[in-house]
Amino acid sequence: MSTPEDLVKLDNFQNIFSLGGKIAVITGGSRGLGLHTASGFLQAGCARVYIIARSEEPLHGAAKALNALPNKGPDALAIVIVADISSQEGCMKMAVEISKTTGHVDILVANAGATFIGDMDAYKEDDFDRVMKMNVSSIFFSVQKLSRLLQAGGTIQDPSRIIMVSSVAGVVVGDMGEHGTYAYAASKAAVIHLMKNLAVELGPKHIAVNVVAPGIVPSQMSAPLMDRHGGLESVAKQVPDQKLGSPEDVAGVMVFLSSRASKHINGATIVLDGGSYLVRGCA
């Protein structure tokens, strides 16, 4: 029978959120949520963070800023990979480039995304397909092409992690009419169900798969939405906790889901929106 002395012992608890020595890959890593995540990972101890995007110049600017962080490890490094992962071929290119410099990956954050806004009658087939390819297909094929490296990094006590970025738009109904985001909303709901399937498929291979579904975090992508709803202060008042998401909120939940603190979490969706989905706030 366990004694109180036994029950208060927690294994290396002071470092439970550390990502010391981990290797991470972040798609859509040159700006917004991806860049917040990369910063958090490096400051939490990651040894290498690969940031992926199709535009080279923003990537190099992001890597320069990340590598100048004063409180990352002295040898920690942000590494640029230029790849268009909207196709299976692009995902393969990404995986090949990463495998040139590492034999395993501990964390994949599937963050790359696209949107289209317009009246239902204004949508063309290409508009819908482009969003679904970038927001859903690219995640599946990124996982497919990186699965060998992810399996090489995971153990039963410390699985590798896949974090898929969905949205509160995949949980509740957002704007309609001329501001409709039909493809985006459908794609983000699809991400959540894809995650559930992959969590079951990859769990036995020591890979945990979860979703983060953010609400509004001020960014280039969210700026038009905030403008339509009266600006930052007006939108914040619609959220139960009276504020919008911050870079620290994003980085914090990503570090949590990548750390030992979440090693038994698999198949979960964390809605990061201050409770706005409960009152059908902006999606």
What mean pLDDT, rounded, does the chain reach? Answer: 91
| Catalytic annotation, residues | 184
pLDDT cut 70: percent of the chain above it = 91
Q: What is the mean pLDDT of residues 40-60?
A: 97
Q: Mean per-residue pLDDT for 25-37?
A: 96
Domain residue ranges of the chain, discontinuous segments joined by +: 17-216+245-279
Query: Tell me, what's the pLDDT at 283?
Result: 42
Q: How far apart are CA 108 and CA 5, in angstroms?
A: 38
- Given a cut of 70, whether residue 231 has pLDDT beyond it is no
Q: What is the CA radius of gyration of the chain?
A: 19
SS3 118: coil
Residue 84 has pLDDT above 50, yes or no: yes
The answer, yes or no, to whether residue 46 has pLDDT greater than 80, is yes
- pLDDT of the residue at 230: 63
pLDDT at 278: 85
Question: Taking the alpha carbons of 181, 129, 211, 102 in that order, is the dihedral positive or negative?
Answer: negative
The percentage of the chain sitting over the pLDDT mark of 90, rounded to a whole number, equals 72
Q: Which segment of 83-97, 137-151, 219-233 scores lowest on mean pLDDT?
A: 219-233
Q: Average pLDDT of 262-276? A: 94
Burial call 205-225: b when 16+ CB within 10 Å, e when fewer? ebbbbbbbbbbbbbbebbeeb
The whole-model pTM stands at 0.92
Average pLDDT in the 99-126 region? 91
Distance CA 38, CA 144 (A): 22
* In CATH, 17-216+245-279 is 3.40.50.150: no
Say how far residue 35 (Cα) sits from the centre of its chain.
Answer: 10
Write down the H helix ranges in the chain. 4-7, 32-43, 56-67, 88-99, 125-132, 138-153, 182-202, 223-228, 232-237, 247-258
Q: How far apart are CA 109 and CA 212, in angstroms?
A: 10
**Vertex 56: Cα angle to 50 and 62 (nearest 5):** 55
Crossing angle of the two packed helices 138-153 and 88-99, in degrees rounded to 10? 20
63-97 per-residue burial string, b: 16 or more CB within 10 A, e: under 16: beebeeeeebeeebbbbbbbbbbbebebbbbbbeb
Burial readout 114-124 (b: 16 or more C-beta within 10 A, e: otherwise): bbbbbeeeeee
* Phi/psi at 173 (5° precision): -85, 130
Look at 7-11, 81-85, 99-103, 141-145 and tell me which has the smallest mean pLDDT: 7-11
In which region does residue 244 sit, left (phi positive, over 0), alpha (psi from -120 to 50) or beta (all else)? beta
Given a cut of 80, is residue 121 above it in pLDDT?
Answer: yes
Averaged over 160-188, what is the pLDDT?
88
The tens digit of pLDDT for each residue in 136-167 reads 999 999 999 999 999 999 999 999 999 999 99
Name the amino acid, one letter, at 53: A
- Asked if 115 and 131 count as a contact pair (C-beta separation under 8 A), the reply is yes
